[in-house]
Structure 1
Amino acid sequence: MEDDRVWAFEESLWTGDAAHYRESIDESALMVVPQPPYVLESQAAVDAVSQTPRWERVTISDGRIVRPQEGLIVIAYGIEATKGDERYVAHCTSTYRRLEHEVWKVVQHQQTPPLTAEMRADGG
């Protein structure tokens, strides 16, 4: 999958409807999200995220793509997503695996929002 298609696919996971999300997530997916229960796997991951309202607009920044082997893509990026007056910012990773020609599924996704306070160098 070419880079432009990777980013379009990832954006569609933030903005697409529940049916699109269910089609795109592998049945063995593992996810880490910033709200309870934090770690989701398999059908629980698909169910939880497909029930959340979709974002109206997303901006992906500082995107990185690696292809450690044939049929495997790992990405990392910053996201800013908005809907109405709500805004969400995080750093994310996703891993895709190819099931067959031009058919890719998400097997891993993680979101890390910014820390609310920076750690001081002296630990205090």
Structure 2
Amino acid sequence: MEDNRIWSFEESLWTGGAKQYRELIDDECVMVLPEQPFVFTSQQAIEAVAHTPRWSSVSFSEQRVMRPQEGLITIAYKVEAEGEGKQGYTAWCTTTMRRLEHDIWRVVQHQQTPPLAASGA
């Protein structure tokens, strides 16, 4: 997957709803998020997204793309997200995607670390 497509894919997960998650999150995905229960299965993450207002805009910086082997991509980045009626959100994130077949990718891992956690405060 080309870098531009990777970042479009990732952005769609921040701005899309539960339907987008169901399509792009692997059944065996694990996520670590800064809210209870902190470690989420794919189904728990889909449920959380279904009950949370989505971000209307996101911007990525400090972007890294790693391809440790064929069919596996890991990205790291800083996200700044905004949504109508929501407080802005900043975090450092990682996402790992695996290719199931030509042009079909699924997220198998995602993690978010907000600034307070990152600074040790």
TM over 0.5: yes
The structure-2 alpha-carbon separation of the partners of 1:117 and 1:49, relative to structure 1 and needing over 3 Å to count, comes to closer
Counterpart amino acid of residue 41 in structure 1:
T
The structure-2 alpha-carbon separation of the partners of 1:83 and 1:101, relative to structure 1 and needing over 3 Å to count, comes to same
- Superimposed CA distance per residue, residues 12-31 of structure 1 (whole angstroms, 9 cap, x where no aligned partner): 10001221111010000000
- Superimposed CA distance per residue, residues 41-92 of structure 1 (whole angstroms, 9 cap, x where no aligned partner): 2322322234321100001011000000000000000000001252000000
**Structure with greater helix percent:** 2
Residue 96 in structure 1 maps to residue 94 in structure 2:
no
d(CA) in 2 for partners of 1:5, 1:117: 28
CA displacement at 1:116 relative to structure 2: 7.0
After TM superposition, the structure 1 = structure 2 runs for residues 1-124 of structure 1, keeping only pairs within 5 Å, are 1-85=1-85, 86-115=87-116, 118=119
Alignment: residue pair count: 120
Deviating 4+ runs (over 3 angstroms): 116-120
The structure-2 alpha-carbon separation of the partners of 1:34 and 1:68, relative to structure 1 and needing over 3 Å to count, comes to same
Taking every aligned residue pair, what percent have the same amino acid on both sides?
58
Q: TM-score, normalised by structure 1?
A: 0.89
The structure-2 alpha-carbon separation of the partners of 1:118 and 1:105, relative to structure 1 and needing over 3 Å to count, comes to closer
d(CA) in 2 for partners of 1:42, 1:119: 28
C-alpha RMSD of the superposition: 1.8
